[in-house]
Amino acid sequence: MGSGIWSADVYFSAAHYRSASGRSAFAYSDEGARTTHPDLDPYGVTRESRDSAEHPNSLAISVLFDVTGSMGRVPRILQNKLPDLLGLLQRKGYAVDPQIMFGAIGDATCDRAPLQVGQFESDNRMDDQLGLILLEGGGGGQMTESYELAMYFMARHTSIDCHEKRGKRGYLFIIGDEMPYPRLSGRAANDVIGDRVPGRLRVEDIVDELVTKYDTYFIVPRGASHAGNREVLAVWRRLLGQNVLELDDLDAVCEIIALTVGLGEQAIDLDEGLDHLVELGSKASGSVQRALGRRSPRRLGRG
């Protein structure tokens, strides 16, 4: 996957058509779907980000978000702001050949769709994939969701040329407000992904494997049910260190993803990135500065 070029004209034409026909960008979910769409089913698949003549320097960027409870707004915000995200990545040169995969995380103990994963795409098919996500809205009623299952999938069921050919990690952004389960359930791995996992892998071991392939971030947006919760933040900081980003404006999620990639690729420094947001007319510069400024005064590393 990953061929083609993303077009703002195609995006806005599709949005106009949906508006004229009265359909939602998330019609699959909004029109009553109750199961994972077949195109997003993680069972027995590997998602690939590949180089091509059209995209010789592919960079895998994955965005996985919790779709339970208060986090259900996140995919709608991402869909509305795709032009801003792709504009910064492509027109501002933050990434030469970005290939983006969207996915969603639920709870394997109780949800209908505990894990949904799209394809890595370079063109407007990423919008289509995003629109196929089932917005679960449920959750386990505790402060845990199956983040460890999603991280396991990303570690073992993705194949990305930026890492395999050039030794360069991709990017993984997890947007949520709860904790992972401490161990991967063998039953969940088998039922959802199709893997037989001996024993129960610790979440720490999954993360250790994951971060060899992806520069991994956990974004906690204000307004989510458990934003600011000390226990949640402590768990994720133990796992990912400074790559836990507290975002005080949910609407700024696309901007923080774009600038984090730009900084990680050393295409910009923080001041340049904030200037680009002002150019774009974004109101997110203050929120992004506060979130990223806590990590480094000038530049984010890939460590």
We report the CATH number of the domain holding residue 17 as 3.40.50.410
302 falls within a domain: no
pLDDT at 14: 81
61 falls within a domain: yes
Average per-residue pLDDT for the chain: 88
303 falls within a domain: no
List, for residues 87-141, the tens digit of each pLDDT value: 889 888 999 899 999 999 999 998 889 999 999 998 888 888 888 999 876 554 5
182 falls within a domain: yes
1 falls within a domain: no
112 falls within a domain: yes
Four-residue CA torsion sign, 36, 42, 44, 45: positive
303, pLDDT greater than 50:
no
List, for residues 17-47, the tens digit of each pLDDT value: 888 888 888 888 888 888 999 999 999 999 9
CA-wise closest residue to 65 among 12, 103, 15: 103
1: confidence class by pLDDT, cuts 50, 70, 90: low
295: confidence class by pLDDT, cuts 50, 70, 90: low
List, for residues 50-74, the tens digit of each pLDDT value: 999 999 999 999 999 888 776 767 8
3-state secondary structure of 87: helix
pLDDT at 207: 98
Residue with tokens 């050393």: 266
CB 67 within 8 A of CB 105: yes
The total of structural domains in the chain comes to: 1
Instruction: State the average pLDDT over residues 262-286.
Output: 93
pLDDT at 245: 95
pLDDT at 138: 56
29 falls within a domain: yes
pLDDT at 299: 39
302, pLDDT greater than 60:
no
Classify burial at 96, counting beta carbons within 10 Å of its beta carbon; exposed 0-12, middle 13-18, buried 19 or more. middle
CB 265 within 8 A of CB 171: no
d(CA 243, CA 230): 16
200, pLDDT greater than 50:
yes
300: confidence class by pLDDT, cuts 50, 70, 90: very low
Q: Which domain holds residue 58?
A: 8-293
d(CA 124, CA 132): 13
298 falls within a domain: no
